[in-house]
Amino acid sequence: MESHAEDKFVADNVETGAKFKIFLPKATSVSQENSCHVICRRFFICILIVAVVFLSLIIYAIYYYVSKLPNVCHSKECLRSAAAFKQNMDLNVDPCEDFYSYVCGNWADDHPRPERHGTHSWYNERQTKVYRIIRGHLDTNVTQADPKPVAQAKFMYRACLGKAYRKHYGYTAVRRFLKELDLPVIPTLLNNSEITNQEYEFDWISSVAKIQRKLGLNVLLGFTFEPDHRDQNRNRLTLEYDYSPEEFEFPTYEWDKGRRKANQNRRPPSTLNSGKTEGTGEHESEDDKELRVLARAFARLVGLINTDIKTDEIRDKMSFLAEEFKKFQNSLPKKQNLEDDSDDIVYYTVEQLQNATDAHIKPKKPYPIWQRYVDVLFADHPDVQPSNDEQLQLTSENVKTFGKLIDVISNQPLPLIELYIWKTVASFLVDHKFNKAVSEEDCAQVVHKLMGLAVSYTIADRDFLERTKPRVEQMVTNIRTEFDQMILETDWMDAYTKYASLEKSKVMKSLIGFPEWVLDVGKLEKHYRGFQISPTHHLQNWINALEALNAEWLRTWRVDNSRMWDADPTEVNAYNFINRNVIVIPIAIIQYPFYHLGLEALNYGALGETLGHEITHGFDNEGRDYDKDGNEERWWSNDTIHEYDKRAKCLEELYSSFFVPEANAFLNGTLTLGENIADHGGLREALRAYRAYVKRNGPEPVLPGFNDFTHEQLFFISYAIL
């Protein structure tokens, strides 16, 4: 077996060797070919590596170059801001010498001042834009989609514009309304100048209370509701004396037309009147001139309201009315305007006020007035009338003046008191009946004043609530954070005052945009439930609206006002109500160029400074007197007040040293102290808040065309342009 196996093994190897020999030359050829492929492959790999390295170097170089290029903002907001800034700036001015002219030197060229405006700025230009938008909404047709108050606002606007109808409609509404106010259509003295109090009954107290209740017009006596100085969570009825001598020329269409006609009919000077020109008032005394103009005013009022009376036939009686009116007006006590009456606050019940008033009457005799006034005032709302033991909030100066007023009135003929009240109310109504320039803008503003929230509905939108409002709220938070930090960093406030200031800052409320309930149609209609508006009767609309507004005011005077919008959402402004510790930022100011500027550097320089300004007002020379609840209280330590006053005095002197060539006078730093403190504080807070924003979010893109400007320089440019 083994021999056989060996033979087979040898035979196989011989055969294999033979095969190997046969195949050997081919193997050598393949090896050479593979070697060539290897060399080519290696060469290709080398080239590829070199190419990759070279390409990487190119990419890196490009990346390095691009990374060094500024990241430019190309949003429409950035482009608009950049273009406007370039257009407004005067680059020929050295910003270190006159920064304002450098930033705004060319602004007036593209923004001419309207003739009706004494001054011009972005504020009134944007306000005009808001009114234009409002006018556009009011000018559209009423649709089924319009809430009832919005439709009523449109009807009121159209009625206001109906000049032809207004003229032919006459003064029916005026005559009817005078009677509702217990006033005659014609003054009683005009028909009977000898009438006495024994022959004539006139409840003047009831009349002035009705005028206040229906028109909101103060005549002799006035009232309002104010937060209690000791407790801002409750309101108190405040009575006040109102002395407002009116000018003797009424700027109405009819009166103005008659005045022009009278001027045209004047006779030329006569050589026989010792140099005095009849009818022109030349060389006459100021008193005589006032009486002449007042007599003409009475003639026009009587003639307009009573068309069947020929004023030429009663001209002498008009002079008599003017003289009597002037005598009565001159006998009234003058109102004392105190710069700060907060230390003059007193609290009286109605009975106590009556006793204090009677004490000033000579000879001393009771003259019941206040209970009657309050009863008539709340006749339609007895459920909210102050109780007998409820205290009213007054000033001691007003209490003294009330006594002087009643002392005068108690010795005057009732027909003369009636004349004074009649003239005040009649001129108020007639002035509105015929305005000399009834334009679309005028009518839009009338509607806006009477139905402001219905008008606000047309510009309010949910997109603002969802997108813009949260961003502005965050900005308020950021700025308040920096304000708090500045408080902590002060070295002149003691720990107690710092803590109290931080507490006030913490609870300060911010109302932004508009009351959200305005978008709730049901709530909006409930708010205007008392309005009766006609598409044609403008004067009646005006009266109805005033009545409804005053009725709502009386009905809700006890309601908590801590979240109440005292500011108009369509106002291009911002407010701090220090007696409520609330700042209000209306939607109208959250527009270009105050916001939506493209970069946060610009937004913080514009709107951000405004927010800081209002926050700082809560701690300025007036705001510091109100605590975190809005109560007037001394809540700073004496040492801190002393240190604060020293620094405030420095700022006051600084601004008093500024000379204004246009006015040829120095600024009064005392009068502007509160605003100057708010400006300085607001600007610092906004800048700090922006720096903190950059730390959190990184640097911002560059504004197009402003590559050479830092973002902080852009911050100051956006601030200066306002």
Residues 635-646 pLDDT 10s: 999 999 999 999
pLDDT band at 302 (very low <50, low <70, confident <90, very high): confident
What percent of the chain lies above the pLDDT cut of 70? 83
Quote the mean pLDDT of the chain.
84
Rounded to whole angstroms, how far apart are CA atoms 103 and 720?
Answer: 7
Q: What DSSP string describes 158-207?
A: HHHH-HHHHHHHTTHHHHHHHHHTT--SS-HHHH-TT--TTT----HHHH
Both ends of the chain: CA-CA distance in Å? 118
Report the pLDDT averaged over residues 353-363: 86
CB 429 within 8 A of CB 539: yes
pLDDT at 47 over 70: yes
What percent of the chain lies above the pLDDT cut of 90? 53
Report the pLDDT averaged over residues 252-277: 32
Report the pLDDT averaged over residues 295-308: 81
Rounded to whole angstroms, how far apart are CA atoms 282 and 580?
Answer: 54
pLDDT at 51: 83
Q: Tell me the torsion sign for CA atoms 694, 696, 702, 708.
A: positive
DSSP 219: B
Report the pLDDT averaged over residues 684-688: 98
The bridge status of strand 575-577 relative to strand 345-348 is unpaired
Residue with tokens 């800081």: 612
Of 240, 442, 213, nearest to 337 by C-alpha is 240
pLDDT at 139: 93
pLDDT at 252 over 50: no
pLDDT at 716: 98
pLDDT at 85 over 50: yes
Q: Beginning with the edge strand found earlier in the chain, give each strand of the sheet holding 575-577 in spatial order.
A: 509-513, 582-586, 575-577
pLDDT at 8: 47
Of 682, 685, 700, nearest to 77 by C-alpha is 700
pLDDT at 263: 33
Q: Is the peptide bond before 363 cis (omega within 30 degrees of 0)?
A: yes
- Top pLDDT among 680 and 446 is at 680
Task: List the single range of 262-266, 450-454, 508-512, 654-658 with lowest mean pLDDT.
Answer: 262-266
pLDDT at 291: 85
Amino acid present at 64: Y
Of 301, 216, 295, nearest to 544 by C-alpha is 216
Rounded to whole angstroms, how far apart are CA atoms 226 and 264?
Answer: 50
Task: List the single range of 397-411, 423-437, 447-461, 578-592 with lowest mean pLDDT.
Answer: 423-437
pLDDT at 71 over 70: yes
pLDDT band at 119 (very low <50, low <70, confident <90, very high): confident
pLDDT at 279: 44
pLDDT at 695: 98
Task: List the single range of 59-68, 520-529, 560-569, 654-663 with lowest mean pLDDT.
Answer: 59-68
pLDDT at 272 over 70: no
How many angstroms from the chain centroid is the CA of residue 584?
9
pLDDT at 22: 41
pLDDT at 364 over 60: yes
pLDDT band at 29 (very low <50, low <70, confident <90, very high): low
CB 224 within 8 A of CB 238: yes
Per residue in 131-159, pLDDT (tens digit) is 999 999 999 999 999 999 999 999 999 99
pLDDT at 250 over 80: no
Of 233, 237, 215, 239, nearest to 225 by C-alpha is 237
pLDDT at 467 over 50: yes
pTM exceeds cut of 0.85: no
